[in-house]
Amino acid sequence: MRLEGLRVLITGAASGFGEAMARRFAAEGANVVLLDICKPALDEVERSIGGTRGGTATGFECDVTDSERVHEVIATCLDEQGGIDVVVNNAGWSYRNQPLLDVDEASLRKVYEINVFAIYHMTRAIVPHWRQSGGGTMINISSTAGIRPRPGLVWYNSTKGAVNSLTQSLAAELASDNIRVCAIAPVLGRTGLTEAFLGGPETPEALARFVSTIPLGRMSTGDDVASAAAFLASPEARFLTGIIVPVDGGRCI
Residue 181 bridge partners (DSSP): 138
156 is catalytic: yes
Q: Which of 43, 63, 195, 223 binds ligand NAD (CB under 6 A)?
A: 63
Q: Which of 64, 74, 87, 198 binds ligand NAD (CB under 6 A)?
A: 64
Q: Which of 6, 16, 119, 137 binds ligand NAD (CB under 6 A)?
A: 16
CA 127-132-134 angle, 5° bins: 90
CA 225-249-168 angle, 5° bins: 60
**Positions in 135-154 near ligand NAD (CB under 6 A):** 141, 143
Q: Cβ 220 to ligand NAD, closest distance in Å?
A: 7
Q: Cβ 192 to ligand NAD, closest distance in Å?
A: 3
**Contacts of 200 by beta carbon, 8 Å cutoff, 6+ apart:** 97, 206
**Contacts of 13 by beta carbon, 8 Å cutoff, 6+ apart:** 19, 21, 22, 32, 34, 35, 36, 42, 45, 59, 90
Q: Answer for the pair 29, 6: CB distance below 8 angstroms, yes or no.
A: yes
Q: Cβ 177 to ligand NAD, closest distance in Å?
A: 25
* Site for ligand NAD contains 17 (CB under 6 A): yes
Cα separation, 57 vs 36, whole angstroms: 13
Cα separation, 34 vs 25, whole angstroms: 11
* Site for ligand NAD contains 38 (CB under 6 A): yes
**Positions in 189-248 near ligand NAD (CB under 6 A):** 189, 191-194, 197
**Positions in 174-193 near ligand NAD (CB under 6 A):** 186, 188-189, 191-193
Of the pair 178, 227, the CB lying nearest ligand NAD is at 227
